[in-house]
């Protein structure tokens, strides 16, 4: 009876533990799900929120961060050579024929038929050119990985900003086309009414119908283009294309973001690409030094302990142990390697020289890139000012001709021409505005002043 009660208690305890494990697992799963949900993009996201999300989730950045971690593992692996290296070895030998030696004119067999050895050896590097080079290169490898990550962040900020402004431009374009459709519908209604009352022939309202059809087709094309631009933005920030996102354009006046200090001087050393190449040059210098260090001797210490088993009978092989142990120093000094070291030194020096030319070439490219970006910005600014003035003028012309058309002074063809000019100048204004913003980002990238910390 007592045993039965104890079994029931054990079952209750087991069920309680199982339930606790299930609850803990569910809580952990909920915390994981909560963490995943917290990574979702906010609704009505602003440009800053898009950039923040991209800097946390873009695939290229995640890969760059993994590359950083891989670099740390490679450094740790290379430097682990300074730690003692402990190895174990074992052997089992059966001599079919024992070796025969002649002593004092008599042939005698030496050794036993079976022998086995289990040994342990510890080696400690004291003087090693490879480890010297790894120790000095670790700093530059970390720096190179950090610069690769920074470069990816710069490109991310620029690409996401351009994609956002492109979508904003599309939204404004669609708004203009809708306003144009509203005007054309009103004109079509008025032209049809005039035709019905016999004031004009059917040509005016047919022209209005053609213009309205063209505007509707243009609206459909603009909506399709906007869909692609949203999908492109999703790909930049690592969001599935099937997932819907909404952006906020509140207080995001395009005009307020176009100004730039054109007097800022170019400092090539601020560019990530230049710093990457400088770091590569330092790594190459270390490689040249390493090739020179190859003339140095290699010094190490060792200690070993061996279990030796010897017996003619295999069944009694491990009955007795004859251990041995030793400590010592090993010195290796390379004397002649067929001029290989000299050739490697010269090759590394030539690679250094090549990197110097790469640096000079990069300076020229950056200067040209900055000059092209600045010229594009100034040119786009002029086009934007001209487009803005033309848009204001065409709006005045359209309003005037509309009043004159309503009064019967102007023809419908003149009204359509004015309306087309208004729409064209509005779209030209938006395109010029986006071109200015895009060239501004190009200048900031050329200057190396793109903000990647949020």
- Asked if pLDDT for residue 273 goes beyond 90, the answer is yes
- Report long-range pairs for 238-242 (Cβ below 8 Å, ≥24 apart): 238/54, 238/57, 238/58, 238/59, 239/41, 239/57
Farthest-apart Cα atoms in the chain, separation: 144
Does residue 305 fall inside a structural domain?
A: yes
Does residue 6 fall inside a structural domain?
A: no
Does residue 21 fall inside a structural domain?
A: no
pLDDT of residue 199: 67
Residues of the chain with pLDDT > 70: what percent? Answer: 90
Same structural domain, 99 and 168: no
Give the total number of structural domains in the chain: 2
Same structural domain, 225 and 326: no
Same structural domain, 88 and 78: no
pLDDT of residue 257: 80
Does residue 32 fall inside a structural domain?
A: no
| Residues whose CB is less than 8 angstroms from the CB of residue 144 and which lie 6 or more positions away in sequence, other chains included | 71, 276, 279, 280, 283
Q: What is the mean pLDDT of residues 198-215?
A: 83
Does residue 137 fall inside a structural domain?
A: yes
pLDDT band at 111 (very low <50, low <70, confident <90, very high): confident
Q: What is the mean pLDDT of residues 434-441?
A: 94
Tokens 């800097």, located at residue: 55
Same structural domain, 190 and 282: yes
CA distances 432 to 140, 385, 439, Å, are 44, 9, 11
Same structural domain, 244 and 391: yes
Among 344, 337, 336, residue whose Cα is nearest residue 288 = 344
Give Rg (Cα) of the chain.
Answer: 40
Q: What is the mean pLDDT of residues 141-159?
A: 95
Return the CATH number at 89. 2.20.200
Looking at the DSSP assignment, which residues form a beta bridge with residue 121?
87, 304
Helix (H, G, I), strand (E, B) or coil at 74: helix
Same structural domain, 93 and 164: no
Does residue 263 fall inside a structural domain?
A: yes
CA distance 156 to 149: 11
Same structural domain, 69 and 175: yes
CA distance 429 to 425: 6
Give the pLDDT confidence of 296-340 residue by residue, as tens digits: 899 999 999 999 999 988 989 999 999 999 999 999 988 888 888
Mark which of 332, 352, 382 sits at the end of a domain: 332
Same structural domain, 304 and 401: no
Strands 298-311 and 324-332, by their bridges, are antiparallel
Q: Show the domain range for 281.
A: 43-83+128-297+337-447
Mark which of 332, 356, 386 sits at the end of a domain: 332
Selection from 40-49, 237-246, 276-285 with the highest mean pLDDT: 276-285
Same structural domain, 78 and 163: yes
pTM: 0.80
Side-chain-facing half-sphere of 283: CA atoms under 13 Å: 17
CB 137 within 8 A of CB 286: yes
pLDDT of residue 19: 52
Same structural domain, 303 and 371: no
Does residue 217 fall inside a structural domain?
A: yes
Give the pLDDT confidence of 216-251 residue by residue, as tens digits: 999 999 999 999 999 999 999 999 988 888 888 876
pLDDT band at 4 (very low <50, low <70, confident <90, very high): very low
CA 339: distance to chain centroid? 43
Same structural domain, 138 and 63: yes
Same structural domain, 76 and 117: no
Structure tokens that stand for 257 in this block: 């973001």
Give the pLDDT confidence of 50-104 residue by residue, as tens digits: 999 999 999 999 999 999 999 999 999 999 999 999 999 999 999 988 888 888 7
Does residue 37 fall inside a structural domain?
A: no
Looking at the DSSP assignment, which residues form a beta bridge with residue 247?
45
pLDDT of residue 409: 85
Please name the helix (run of DSSP H) or strand (run of DSSP E) that holds residue 18, with its range, or none: helix 2-38
Return the CATH number at 73. 1.20.1600.10
Give the pLDDT confidence of 353-374 residue by residue, as tens digits: 999 999 999 999 999 999 999 9
Selection from 30-34, 83-87, 265-269 with the highest mean pLDDT: 83-87
């Amino acid at each position: 009876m007592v045993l039965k009660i104890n079994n029931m208690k054990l079952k209750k305890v087991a069920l309680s533990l199982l339930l606790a494990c299930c609850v803990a697992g569910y809580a952990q799963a909920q915390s994981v799900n909560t963490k995943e949900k917290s990574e979702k993009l906010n609704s009505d996201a602003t440009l800053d929120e898009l950039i923040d999300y991209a800097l946390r989730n873009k695939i290229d950045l995640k890969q760059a961060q993994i590359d950083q971690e891989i670099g740390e593992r490679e450094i740790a692996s290379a430097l682990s050579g300074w730690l003692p290296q402990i190895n174990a070895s074992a052997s089992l030998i059966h001599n079919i024929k024992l070796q025969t030696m002649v002593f004092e004119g008599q042939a005698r067999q030496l050794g036993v038929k079976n022998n086995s050895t289990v040994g342990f050896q510890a080696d400690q590097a004291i003087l090693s050119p490879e480890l010297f080079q790894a120790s000095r290169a670790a700093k530059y490898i970390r720096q190179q990985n950090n610069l690769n990550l920074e470069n990816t962040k710069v490109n991310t900020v620029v690409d996401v900003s351009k994609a956002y402004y492109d979508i904003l431009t599309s939204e404004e374009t669609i708004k203009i086309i809708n306003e144009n459709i509203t005007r054309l519908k009103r004109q079509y209604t008025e032209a049809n009414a005039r035709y019905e009352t016999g004031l004009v022939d059917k040509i005016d309202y047919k022209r209005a119908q053609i213009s309205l059809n063209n505007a509707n087709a243009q609206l459909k094309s603009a909506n399709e283009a906007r869909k692609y631009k949203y999908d492109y933005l999703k790909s930049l920030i690592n969001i599935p294309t099937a997932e819907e996102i909404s952006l906020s354009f509140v207080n995001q006046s395009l005009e307020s973001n176009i100004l730039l200090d054109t007097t800022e001087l170019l400092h090539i050393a601020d560019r990530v690409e230049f710093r990457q190449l400088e770091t590569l040059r330092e790594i190459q210098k270390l490689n040249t030094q390493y090739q020179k260090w190859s003339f140095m001797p290699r010094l190490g210490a060792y200690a070993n302990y061996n279990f030796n088993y010897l017996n003619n009978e295999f069944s009694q092989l491990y009955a007795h142990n004859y251990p041995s142990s030793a400590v010592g120093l090993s010195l290796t000094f390379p004397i002649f390697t067929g001029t290989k070291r000299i050739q490697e030194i010269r090759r590394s020096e030539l690679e250094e020289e090549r990197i110097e030319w790469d640096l000079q070439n990069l300076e020229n490219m950056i200067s040209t890139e900055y000059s092209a970006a600045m010229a594009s910005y100034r040119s786009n600014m002029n086009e934007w000012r001209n487009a803005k003035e033309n848009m204001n003028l065409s709006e005045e012309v359209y309003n005037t001709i509309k009043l004159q058309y309503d009064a019967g002074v102007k023809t419908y063809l003149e009204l359509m021409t004015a309306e087309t000019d208004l729409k064209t100048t509005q779209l030209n204004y938006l395109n010029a505005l986006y071109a200015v913003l895009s060239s501004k980002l190009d200048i900031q990238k050329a200057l190396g002043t793109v903000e990647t910390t949020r």
